[in-house]
Structure 1
Amino acid sequence: MLRRTYDGQICSVARTLEVVGERWTLLIVRDALLGVTRFDGFLGRLSIARNVLSDRLSGLVEHGVLERVQYQDRPPRHEYRLTNRGRELTTVILSLREWGDRHLAGEAGPPQLSEHADCGGRITTRVVCERCAEQVPPGRVVTRPAQG
């Protein structure tokens, strides 16, 4: 993926960028979350070179974000399905979309809405304290060194 540009950093954000930080990778994950599974499906939605798409898909498989599953024998064809690890990126994609909708959507408004499949309510991401269950605004988050 990013060819180890963050070697000296002991940081989970840097480690995560090694997996999903290259151009196109999060858009591939976004499309997988929207139900795209086949190479041609990704190719059709993204203006991406075939070799770049192949490289990104291979990297996502290597890191356990997607799994490659054969769906046809002759000729052999595969699709790419999100793993549990990949589905956990839903919150990341939703947070990025929310930020973009708030700051970059323009006059036309957001191009997509995220809704709860069961009731149709709008989905939003929140930072919540696991101890007191209070929603924590960005200015009230502090970071400190951990054991790891």
Structure 2
Amino acid sequence: MVTRTRFDDSDCPVARSVDAIGDWWSLLIVRDAFDGSRRFGEFQRSLGVAKNILTARLRALVDGGVLASVPASDGSAYREYVLTPKGKALFPVIVALRQWGEQHFFTPGEPHSELVDRRHEQRLRALEVLSADGRRLEPDDTAVRKVSTG
């Protein structure tokens, strides 16, 4: 079995984030949590993933503080998975992936799901990266700077 490379001590925030999320199943679980899934069976039906894989990914997301396992809201003996504040902070990431996918992987007119504002039932504006003073930034407008300790 191949040992997974870990990035939890990397000085790169992207590497640490990818390490925390783990893989594509985990991102899809987080997506489903935003869409209202809370129980193991709901995640399994939506994703069609094997129980052992889903169990491992849910455990990793709970251990990583992205999801919390809580008593079922209906008082039954089941457990439910809810997004923590750390998990809810992934919302812009999920929206960015969704918008990128809509733009690059669907032909015009091809059916797909879309995220809408509940209040107005309209699609969201495209996410933008903005500078501290509000200017729209492109990749060439940015640079990586190391943050020193202290």
State the TM-score, normalizing by the size of structure 2: 0.85
Matching of residue 129 in structure 1 with residue 126 in structure 2: no
Structure 2 counterpart of 1:99: 100
Letter in 1 for 2:50: A
Deviation, structure 1 residue 3? 4.4
Asked if structure 1 preserves the Cα contact closer than 8 Å seen for 2:8 and 2:20, the reply is no
Other-structure match for 2:110: 109
Partner of 1:85: 86
Mapped to 1, the partners of 2:111 and 2:104 lie a distance apart of 10
- What is the match of residue 61 of structure 1? 62
Q: Residue type matched to 1:67 in 2?
A: A
Whether 1:49 aligns to 2:50 is yes
Distance in 2 (alpha carbons) for counterparts of 1:81 and 1:69: 7
Instruction: Report the AA paired with residue 6 of structure 1.
Output: F
* Structure 1 gaps, min length 5: none
Q: Over aligned residue pairs, what C-alpha RMSD do you find?
A: 2.1
| Aligned-partner SS, 2:48 | coil
Q: Which runs of 5+ in 2 are unaligned?
A: none
Q: Structure 1 runs of 4+ off > 6 angstroms?
A: none
Give the drift of 1:137. Answer: 2.2
Number of paired residues?
145
Provide Cα deviations, 1:20-56, integer angstroms capped at 9, x if missing partner.
1323000000000000000000000012110110110
CA shift for structure 1 position 139: 2.8
CA distance change for structure 1 residues 86 and 138 in 2, over 3 Å: closer, same or farther?
Answer: same
Identity across aligned pairs (percent)? 34
Return the TM-score normalized by structure 1.
0.86
State the AA in 1 paired with 2:128: R
